[in-house]
Structure 1
C-alpha cells in the first residue's frame, strides 16, 4: 500500500503534464504518481512516462470512468487527485495530505472559489455555474462546502473504497461531495490558488451541456438521498395548485349552492390525491434510505478492517 498516491486523470494534456508531475514530485517526494490516460491522441502518455509517472489507461471515455478505475486499482493511505492541466499549484498538497493522515478527514476539498478563481478564470458562465452549484448543494443538503466542482481533492482509503462511482463524466465531483455530506463523513476545506490554463491548452468541460448534467445530478441525488424532503416539496406544490383552483369552485358553491365547474373540482381532487401519494412515497423511500445508511456503516467498518490489515 502506498502512503500517498497522486492521481492525475488525463486527456490530451501534453502541454502541461510534465510540469504537473514535476511539481507533484517536489511537493510530495514520497508519493507515487499515477497518470491515467483516457484515450489521448497527443503525446500525453509519452511525456508522462518520461517525467517518471506510473501510466495506466482507461479506454472508456469520461472522467467518472477514469476515477472509477483509479479508485478500484490503487491502494493508498492518502490519495491526492489533481487535474493534469496545471491549473492547481501543488503548494497545498502537503497540508491536504496531513488532514487525511493525521486528522482523520475523509475528503479534503481544494477550495478555489475563496482565492483566485474568479480573477483567473476567463469564462464568466463557469463562474456563475460554480456559484449556483455550490449554493444549491449547501441549501439542499445542509452543508458548508466552499467549492463543489474543484478537481483538486484529497481522500482517505475509507472514502475511496466505499464510494460508488456512478457518474461517467464531469458530474463526478458533485457526486463525491454529496456522497460525503450525506454519509456524515469528515469533509474539510483548504483554500488553494487557481491559475487559468496556459495558452494552447483547452478545457474538456462544456459550460452548458456539462452544467445541465451537473444540475440534473444534484436533483437526482437530492431525490435519492433526501426522499422525504423531495416528495414533501412536491406534495406542497401539488396541494397549493389544487387549493388555488379549488377556491373559485368553493366560492361559487357558497354563493349559489351549486357546483358550476365539476371538471375543475375533479382535477383538484386528483391533484390532491397525487400530493398524498407523494407524502407516502417519501415516507417509504425515507425508511429505505435509513436502511441504506445502516448498510453503508457496515461497509465502512469492513473497509476499515481491510485498511488495518493492509497497513500491517
Structure 2
C-alpha cells in the first residue's frame, strides 16, 4: 500500500455491457487503491454499466467508436497520471493485487507490468481452452521475433508508467490491443515484467465478448503486420529468399535442358524464373532499406523520450 502513494495513480476500466460486475470491480479497486482516480470507459453499453459504475464512485468517459483498441487509445490520450492500472470490468482480475503490479513501476525497474494469468489459476478457471492455446501460440511467435520469453501476451491486467502510455501509438482497434502493447514494450526496449496473478472466471450471468476464432485470427494478423513493421530486415529477406528459391526451382530444369540440347524449349518458364529472381532481390533490398529507416526512427524515439523525461522533471 505504501507504493501507491508515490505519484498519481489512475485505474482505467474499459467496459462493454458489464453492468453485472462493474460496480463490484470499481469498489474492489477503490479498496485496494484508496487514493487512485478510477475511470470507467464505456464503449456503447446497452445495459446499466454506466449507472452501476457511477453509483460505485467511478468517473465516466464515453467512447463511441466500437472496439477495445479504440477505448485504450482514448484512455491513453485523455488521462494524465504517473502510473496507470488497466483491467477489465468483469471482476476476473484481483484488484487487491494491483499494488504488486505498481511496485516495479514506482521503483523504476519496469515500464509495464503484466498480470500473468497462465502461471496462476487461469488453467483451472478458464472454460475457453482454445483461448489458452492461442495465447501460447502467439507467445511462441513473439519469443521467436524478439528473443524474450513471454508467458501471457493477452492479459488485460496491466500497469504502465507515464513514459509508456504517452509514447505508445495505439493502432489496433479490437482485442488484439494487448498483443500490440507487449510488442511496443519489446520493440522499444522498455522494461516489461510479468507478475503471476490470481484469475477468476466470469460470474454466472456475465458473458465474454471475445470470439475465439475471429479474435484469434485478428491477433495473428496483428503479429504479421507488426513483424513486417518491427522486423523489416527479417521479414523481407525471408520473403526474398522464398522468391529466390522459387526462381531457382523453375530455372534449374530449364538450364539442365539447355546444357543437354543447347535449346530453351520452355521460354515462358525462364521468364517467370527471372521475374521471381528480380522480385526476390528487390524484397531483400527493401529489407535493408527499411531496417535502416527503422533504426533511425528508433533513435528519434529514444531522443524524444529523453526530452520528455527532462521536461517532466523540470515541470515537477
State TM-score, norm by structure 1.
Answer: 0.95
Partner in structure 2 of residue 26 of structure 1: 31
2:80 pairs, out of 36, 61, 75, with 75
User: Aligned-pair distance for 1:13?
Assistant: 0.3
Give, in whole Å, the separation in 1 of the partners of 2:123 and 2:59: 33
Aligned pair 1:222/2:242, yes or no? no
Partner in structure 2 of residue 43 of structure 1: 48
Partner in structure 1 of residue 267 of structure 2: 262
Taking a change above 3 Å as real, the CA distance of residues 69 and 309 of structure 1, as seen in their structure-2 partners, is farther
Residues 136 and 151, structure 2, Cα contact 8 Å, conserved in 1: no
Give, in whole Å, the separation in 2 of the partners of 1:131 and 1:195: 19
Give, in whole Å, the separation in 2 of the partners of 1:70 and 1:268: 51
Q: How many residues align?
A: 311
User: Aligned-pair distance for 1:299?
Assistant: 2.0
1:278 pairs, out of 279, 283, 299, with 283
Give, in whole Å, the separation in 1 of the partners of 2:262 and 2:200: 71
Counterparts of 1:187-206 in structure 2, within 5 Å, are 187-206=192-211
* Deviation readout 1:174-196 (Å, 9 max, x if unpaired): 11111110010111110112121
SS in 2 for 1:239: helix
SS in 1 for 2:193: strand
Note the residue ranges of structure 2 that are not aligned, 5 or more in a row.
1-5
User: Aligned-pair distance for 1:95?
Assistant: 1.1
Give the aligned CA root-mean-square deviation in angstroms: 1.5
Aligned pair 1:96/2:97, yes or no? no
Give, in whole Å, the separation in 1 of the partners of 2:83 and 2:109: 11
User: Aligned-pair distance for 1:219?
Assistant: 0.6
Note the residue ranges of structure 1 that are not aligned, 5 or more in a row.
none
Residues 2 and 32, structure 1, Cα contact 8 Å, conserved in 2: no
Partner in structure 1 of residue 137 of structure 2: 132
Moved more, 140-149 or 254-263: 254-263
Give, in whole Å, the separation in 2 of the partners of 1:303 and 1:74: 17
